Structure 1
Amino acid sequence: MDRHGIVNPGLPPGKLLSRVLILIIALTLGSVKGYGQSASTTLRGKVVETGNGYAPIEFATVQLLPTGLATVTDSRGEFQFDQLSPGRINVKVDFLGMETIDTTFTIASGVTEMTFKMKERTFRLAEVTIVARESKAGKATSSSISRQAMDHLQVTSLRDIMQLLPGGVVSPESGLATAKTFTIRSLGADRLNANIPIPTDAANMNSMGTAIVIDGAPLSNNANLQTLSPSISGGGGSVGGGSSPNSGLDVRSLSTDNIESIEVIRGIPSVEHGDLTSGAVIIRSKAGREPLTIRLKTDPKIYQASVSKGISLGEGKGNLNLSGDYAYGISDATQAYAYYQRATARAMYSNRFGRQLFSNTSFDFSLGKDTREMNPDDQRNQLETGARDVGVRFNTNGTWNLNKAWLRNVKYALSGSYRDKHSFSKELLGNAFSAYSMSNTDGAVLSNRPGQKVYDADGKELTHIPSNESGLIATYLPNEYMSRYDIYGKEVNLFANINASFSKRVGKVTNRILTGVNFKTDGNLGDGKVYDLNNPPYRNLSSKTNSSPRPRKYSSIPFVNQFSLYAEDNLLWRVATRELSVQAGLRYDNINAKSVFSPRTNFAFEVLPDKLWLRGGIGVTAKAPTVLYLYPEETYFDFVHFNTLNSSSVPENEQLLLASTRVFNTRNKDLKIATNHKKEVGFDVRINKMRFSVTAYDEQLKNGYRLGRTIDSYRWLEYTEYEEAVHNPGAIPTLREKENGKHNIFVSFATPLNDARSHNRGVEFDFDFGRINAIRTSFVLNGAYMRSTDWNDGHSFSNQKNRNELERNIGIYEKGVERLERERLTTTLRATHNIPSIGFVLTTTAQVSWLNKYWNEYGNDTTFVAYISRLDGKVKPFNDDVLQANPDEFSYLFETRSSTRHVMESYFPVVLLNFHLTKEIGENLKASFYVNNMFNRRPLYETKRSPGSFIRLNIPMYFGFELAMKLK
């Protein structure tokens, strides 16, 4: 790495990328001759539907691996691949509503003809897929979740599928009432109970670094700015609802009923996927014809209805798939005034143009609305909040099969989205006394009347009124007033990707080389923060620095542009009867003049043919900073120099407030790109129908983003207080400086930082014991041991004041003084009993938390390493000698530390039993029911940090019902 923490393999970025691309192109072009020397073959086939007179299936997707070739069937269900090399080949056939066919066979020279018979995906099959399936060896470690699994699980939000992943648990934060983000290999949002602390910065970075990709194009939360005062609070909490700007996308806005399948990449993804650190969720939407399907779902917190229909427009005219849904969710039945609503609609058009080009084009609409009406019992605060998110998205993607001797195909994806967001908060504020100036100008000094000038006894003007702010005032806010502020965001995202796939086979070696380029831009064209200047939002008193927000127009903020190049080689080498597969690639990203290289490699070796594989991987993933971090808002501080407002002893026309404003730019020009360094090793075993997979991983997030304070964000200022020098009857007084009225004070603000760190490691396992036909039951056991260490690798500070004095020193603790350690071991056993003849499936899940604990590790959190002096604002070393020489100067800085802060909380093992049932009623009706924590087992645990205090483990009992009807 260079001094900025950017991956640099040793050469300048431009030269290194050029050499890599030249090498890949040379290898590819050099292979043309070798390829031509091999005998070629043609694979011709037909895809038909069993149970329907073997009717041909049009628009079925046929993929060839490892070559990467793909096509769709014509109106006769036929397909053809030319100029293939003889040898072993893997064929995968997909079609909406059908069981996927995935088979491997050997093709010889000449013409090979095959017929693939697809079965309708129902619960009347002998084997049903209601669990996540692990990826094949040699690829990124991932889990694939089918439509059948989602139906049986009765998912309402994309977040619900996390429980199917190894180590995933049923979260206590169910429902749609609060924002939901997706995390991978994280001990954060999927905590087992609400008492385990979540390190906010680590959880936000994990969800921000999880890419949500739909039909080849990623969704984006990069331009989200629905927050009030991040530079003051040091956080990015959303206003009224929805995801916060410093976390990942709120996945509640995505309907799960128009999804055909999901792949969750937990390991090292292909270099084709960028702008991520944790992993990726790859969503494949429904495309093609399907019967009219109506779904109705309900549970104590959710009501949902959805409808979908796939229509064939006729031979050569393609298919049109239409879907829509509406959902209503609450957090508590006793709080009917707080609720969430979602409405979505999608139109997907699919067609094949000739034999070479096939594409999907979709248009999406979504509406998400968080509402908190005024609680009738809350007459004191009268709080009302809301967040509305209206979005439209266009996506088109396709494959152009050139099928030349070396250039196989070109794939493209183009998408654009627009999200119109409006958040608001309305509240009757109490205890709101604070200074407030309407000025946005650094150094402005205003009084309580527009344009009013104030002088001292020497005739010197004390006010400084900018020409464009002559109508503004400074004031002291009343104790109580009604305040409302609105935030208007208009988020724009454009994404374009194109790549070319080159494939060749020479002897027993097959190479598939992928090269591509993509571009993404994110910006916000909204009016931003808007409010009545006379009734501003509540000042954050916890900042203790007279800071307050200001209106900000988001359309003035530059866009964030990301340009990327990538190249990857997928090599498959047959060694005797074994295979060695290697996926190696390099990605280059440039984000607003900041750049990073991301090399990634996955490999696998077949030790025992068709039985045992050893695999591993190493790589770097990178996440670009968002608008919130690249272009943070300025921070404002207001200081009162003289105030007689609202004084009963001073006539109104003689009352005066004099206040100054200081403005600071909070931008961090040295902000680096966050990277995650991922390593893993594992093995896969297959014995007949049984399969066993184990993966050990180690991931270290570096340069993670957060908003925080640094030494440079503490500013040393001179503050002057005035008193009345001359009383002017009927007019404002003439002022003079108070005796001992000059003070050295500090103000501080939050700035974008790169010091959020995480170290996640663990072992995941997935054991599928197959179906025991004698008892019609299959067993799958998965789980994970996970260990997380999260910390901020920067200084922390003591801001304690010396009694009521204005002046104070700032204590500086050593970097990374506190770390949060968490450890968990969970296993999940799923026993699925099915009776195909009556379409009956019953799954009983036993989730056991064997190990669940957390503790804090501290460095020297009792003594400072340095301090910022109140006398001159300079950083000076601190030690016992300094303290003993002047104890009154520093003793007040030392904060009280809890004597139990080192104590480890270790919960005893608990068992969670869940129950899912699905029954097909006739050919057109299906009913599903589930219960989580079916025995409502919630034992009490006495906390070690607070003896005598108890918490309940496990989630509360929760249940739901779904009815689905198909009209063929």
Structure 2
Amino acid sequence: MKKLYWSSFILFYTIAVAHAQSIYIRGKITDGNKKVLLGSTVIMDQLGFSSMSDGRGEYRLTIPKEQYGKLVTLSVSYIGKKKVERTVLLDSMQKIENFLLQDMSHALEEVGVQAKRGELSNSSLVFDREMIERYPALSLNDLLNRLPNRKNTAPSVQEMQNLTLRGAFSETTGRSRDANELNNSFGVAIIMDDMVLGNNGNMQGRNAGIFGMSSATNAIRPSDYGLTGRPTTGKFYSGENVFSGLDLRQIPIENIEHLEVISGVAPARYGDLSNGAVIIERQAGKTPAFFRLQVRSNATSYGLSKGMQLGKKLGTINVDLGYVQSYADNRDKLKQYDRVNGTLIWTNYFGADKRLKQTFSGSYNKVIDQVRKDPDDPLSNAISFGGRGWNAASRTSYKLDHKFLKSISLNAGISSTLQKTYREYYYNGAVVLYTDSVQTGIVEGQYAPGQYTALDHVDNRPLNLNARLEGNAIAITGDIIHKINFGSNYSYDINRGKGRIADPSIPKKDLGARSDRYYDFSLTNALQNLGLYAEDAMRTKVWGRDLSMRAGVRWDLMNGHSSISPRTNINYSLSKSTQIGLAYGLSFKSPGLAQLYPGPTFDEIILLNSYNGKVDESMALIYLRRYEKDNSNLKSSVRQTLESSFSWHKNGHQLRTNLFYKKNTRGINTVTADQLIDLPTYSATEVPGGKPIDRKS
């Protein structure tokens, strides 16, 4: 009996010592009605450890014993509830912390009226759900107008909406856009649910070789539509966004839970960017049903969302539907922008400890963007830019019970879009002289009637595939906590569109001495980008004050060219209310398909035109020059950033300032290249009843 007693004691002591290696925080999460909240998220900010509440509303966090005696911050969130943050002193190996979450309401005493400082960069700002609800918007752009240095205008979807960060540009006049503004917008990454919403595959526009990159959009003048007496502008309207960033009108805000905008140095995990990033997290979980209605002078918006628990083992599903209808002028309703969108997100946890998390999401949107023909004016103009698109994504993450490696994740996504431009031009003029040849040389011209309908017709179908494999680890060296993030990402962009549909026998009058041909987008090569990255987010105390440093590096292979991007953000607390920061980083933005493969241009010089009114008795000779720039080896644009920051907050007041040096190089633009060519001269000798005979001088 004594041997059995001592064996039991030794076994119990061993187990107790093993458990004593960790600190446990547990508790229950309820709402204002004392109902338990299943699926609440509890995060320890310092280490990034997280836990989900179960069917009893209970959670449990396991924390390394090295944190004993230290202060940690617990953040508790639940969709539709006000987020709670609490500082906890780890003065025992077992801590009980219960949380009460209130409903999100504008009637709460403290509602944020401005973006908060983010954690990913010294220059990042965060919009939480409370702020999003407080400022109703028709699109993501309306919400981002709350950023510093942006013009705060009334919500609208009547103009193209691209985001630029840290840049000043000349004002757009006519259809001509500033090339630097295009490059800035193209270099801002939009990341939704950890999936990049890129514009690399977009080729919807006119021939940049003819019109230049700045004017390569089909557009319509404000004076070409609408009632007289309406305030006009010198800026043309276009629904195309080739060479620039995403059209933010297509991103609704109704189901956005968290939004972070990085203007400066982004974390190393984010690549293929040169001017910042917008990181969006959408709602995924059980929520009450919400119906939102906005009625404005030129727009009406409807939104319906609901998050449902399918069962203890079936997870949750979140459904969001939206519709926006807008007219530039409700009196004539000629210029119209409508958007229909829907999103479905399914999330579930597997395993006894819910270590495996799986999320599937899918979205669909359709846009009607057009200027209709005025029924009272047969000579009025009309143009349409409408389209539709969908995307689907899978996100899988698994928590590990390992001393170093804490989680691994695999994300994969696909997106496809169909965008069409269509406009008709009616001409009643003299006979048309043209050639449909596609090779350089002197060719015989052809004649076509001068009464015809010319077209601007573009069929654009970009397709994107992307994936990310990632690991997260924790290490503690002395008083320094290391949150290590490493992984790889891959993207594949291609365009399957029919292209720019052109017929040289019915040319547009604005081509001058040039002509256009049918250009098939589906014949272009795919763009592939690969990246590897590693980053360490460190926290410690220096002279009793918090010091945080995020240092990382990424390697990218974009369009066959290799690049290295070191990045770091350092922040030090001078006091509880004052912080200073320093950041430096390099970033690279891959060229898009429209920049790599703009298509050929055709210059035409008439050498002989002997026309007597009868096609069978007429003759023409045309010198045709085909020029096709090989941009397939184009390198990525580069941004170098050095910045310092200062922030102060006290008693609800905040002051932030950033001083930065930003240098963009290898920006992409079009240039004119003149060429001197010696051409022969010709004369014609008429032949009665037949074609003239040409003679070379």
**TM-score clears 0.5:** yes
1:534-933 to structure 2, matched below 5 A, reads 534-541=505-512, 546-608=513-575, 610-645=576-611, 647-648=612-613, 651-668=614-631, 671-709=634-672, 713-724=673-684, 726-738=685-697
Matched, 1:488 2:467: no
The one-letter amino acid of 2:132's match is M
SS at match of 1:705: coil
Matched-pair contact (CA < 8 Å) for 2:122–2:582: no
Task: Give the aligned residue type for 2:134.
Answer: H
Secondary structure of residue in 2 paired with 1:321: strand
Distance 1:199 1:441, change over 3 A: closer
Deviation of 1:113 (Å)? 2.7
Offset of residue 47 of structure 1: 4.6
Q: Does 1:319 align with 2:297?
A: no
1:519 maps to 490
Identity %, equivalent residues: 24
Deviation string 1:218-242 (CA, Å, 9 cap, x unpaired) is: 1011111111211111025333643
In the TM superposition, what are the counterparts of 1:80-159 in structure 2 within 5 Å?
80-84=60-64, 85-86=66-67, 87-108=70-91, 110-136=93-119, 139-159=121-141
Q: By how many angstroms is 1:334 displaced?
A: 4.7
Return closer, same or farther for 1:679/1:148 CA change in 2, 3 Å cut-off: same
Q: What are the superposed Cα offsets for residues 420-459 of structure 1, whole Å, 9 maximum, x if unpaired?
A: 12211112136687753211223261332xxxxxxxxxxx
Instruction: Output the CA distance in 2 between the equivalents of 1:568 and 1:434.
Output: 63
Partner of 2:184: 206
Verify the 8 A CA contact 1:419 1:490 in the aligned structure 2. yes
Q: Distance in 1 between matches of 2:369 and 2:523?
A: 27
In the other structure, the counterpart of 1:347 is 344
Corresponding residue of 2:423: 425
Q: Structure 2: which 5+ runs fail to align? A: 1-16, 220-237
Contact residue 434 and residue 504 of structure 2 kept, 8 A: no
Q: Give the deviation of 1:377 after TM superposition.
A: 5.0
Partners of 2:76 and 2:83 within 8 A in 1: yes
In structure 2, what is the equivalent of residue 224 of structure 1? 202
* Cα distance, 1:688 vs structure 2: 4.5
Of stretches 410-419 and 524-533 in structure 1, the one that deviates more from structure 2 is: 524-533
Q: Give the distance between the partners of 1:436 and 1:594, measured in 2 at CA.
A: 41
Q: Secondary structure at the match of 1:708?
A: coil
Structure 1 contact 239–387 (Cα < 8 Å) conserved: no
Structure 1 residues 480 and 630: CA distance shift in structure 2, 3 A: same
Aligned to 1:824: none
Partner residue of 2:55? 75
* Contact 1:498-1:517 within 8 A present in 2 as well: yes
- Deviation sequence 1:348-390 (CA, Å, 0-9, x none): 111111221223221100001211111245434x422111221
Task: Describe the superposition over 1:480-529 as per-residue Cα deviations: whole angstroms up to 9, x where unpaired.
Answer: 53112421121101111121111111331111111110001111011112
CA distance in 1, matches of 2:432, 2:565: 49
- After superposition, residues 152-171 of structure 1 pair within 5 angstroms as 152-171=134-153
Q: Is it true that 1:365 corresponds to 2:364 in the alignment?
A: yes
Cα separation, 2, equivalents of 1:433 and 1:220:
45
Residue type of the alignment partner of 1:521: Y
Q: SS at the partner of 1:343?
A: strand
The answer to whether the Cα contact below 8 Å between 1:517 and 1:564 also exists between their aligned partners in 2 is yes
Alignment check: 8 A CA contact 1:130 1:146 kept: no
Give me the whole-angstrom Cα distance separating, in 2, the residues matched to 1:676 and 1:153: 33
Structure 1 residues 514 and 207 mapped into 2: Cα distance closer, same or farther (>3 Å)?
same
SS at match of 1:672: coil
1:237 maps to 2:216: yes
Instruction: Decide whether aligned partners of structure 1 residues 433 and 264 sit closer, same or farther in structure 2, where only a CA change above 3 A counts.
Output: farther
| Distance in structure 2 (CA, Å) of the matches to 1:435 and 1:229 | 21
Deviation at 1:569, TM superposition (A): 1.1
Counterpart Cα distance in 2 of 1:431 and 1:109: 91
The one-letter amino acid of 1:634's match is: P
Find the residue that maps to 1:203 and give its secondary structure: helix
Find 2:158's aligned residue among 158, 177, 200. 177
Change (3 A) 1:540 1:297: same
Q: Tell me the distance in 2 between the aligned counterparts of 1:627 and 1:435.
A: 33
Give the 3-state SS of the residue equivalent to 1:221 in structure 2: coil
Q: Quote the residue 2:233 is aligned against.
A: none
Q: Which amino acid aligns with 2:529?
A: Q
SS in 1 for 2:108: coil
Residue type of the alignment partner of 1:259: I
1:707-755 Cα offsets, whole Å, 9 max, x none, are 222xxx322222233111x4322211211124xxxxxxxxxxxxxxxxx
- Give the CA deviation at 1:670: 5.4
* Residues 280 and 402 of structure 1, relative CA distance in 2, 3 Å threshold: same
- Deviation, 1:187, is 3.3
Equivalent-residue separation in structure 2 for 1:201 and 1:668 (angstroms): 17
Instruction: Tell me, yes or no, if the aligned pair for 1:539 and 1:549 is still in contact at 8 Å.
Output: no
Report the Cα distance in structure 2 between the residues aligned to 1:228 and 1:612, rounded to whole angstroms. 52
Q: 1:612: Cα distance to partner?
A: 2.2
In the TM superposition, what is the alpha-carbon distance from 1:66 to its structure 2 partner? 2.9
Q: Quote the Cα distance in structure 1 between the aligned partners of 2:445 and 2:578.
A: 79
| Matched letter for residue 76 of structure 2 | V
- The alignment status of 1:301 with 2:274, answered yes or no, reads no
| Offset of residue 199 of structure 1 | 6.2
Assess if the C-alpha contact under 8 Å between 1:69 and 1:409 holds in 2: no
SS of structure 2 residue aligned to 1:396: strand
Structure 1 spans left out of the alignment, 5+ residues: 1-35, 449-474, 739-968
The aligned residue for residue 502 of structure 1 is 473
Residue identity matched to 2:591 = P
Deviation for aligned residue 1:631: 1.7
What is residue 414 of structure 2 aligned with on the other side? 416
Residues 29-65 of structure 1 deviation map (CA, whole Å, 9 limit, x = unaligned): xxxxxxx999732333235233112x22112222223
Letter in 2 for 1:594: H
Deviations for 1:785-807, whole angstroms, at most 9, x for unmatched residues? xxxxxxxxxxxxxxxxxxxxxxx
Normalised to the residue count of structure 2, the TM-score between the two structures is 0.89
- State the 1:148 CA deviation: 2.5
Do the aligned partners of 2:129 and 2:257 also contact (CA within 8 Å) in 1? yes
- Answer whether contact 2:683 2:696 (CA < 8 A) is retained: yes
Deviation at 1:277, TM superposition (A): 1.4
Residue aligning to 1:388: 386
Distance 1:179 1:687, change over 3 A: closer
Amino acid at match of 2:196: P
The partner residue of 1:406 within 389, 404, 407 is 404
Q: Provide the secondary structure at the position in 1 that maps to 2:254.
A: coil
Equivalent residue in structure 2 for 1:59, among 10, 21, 39: 39
1:825-850 per-residue CA deviation (whole Å, 9 max, x = no partner) reads xxxxxxxxxxxxxxxxxxxxxxxxxx
Does the residue aligned with 1:81 lie in a helix, a strand or coil? strand
Matching residue of 1:375:
374
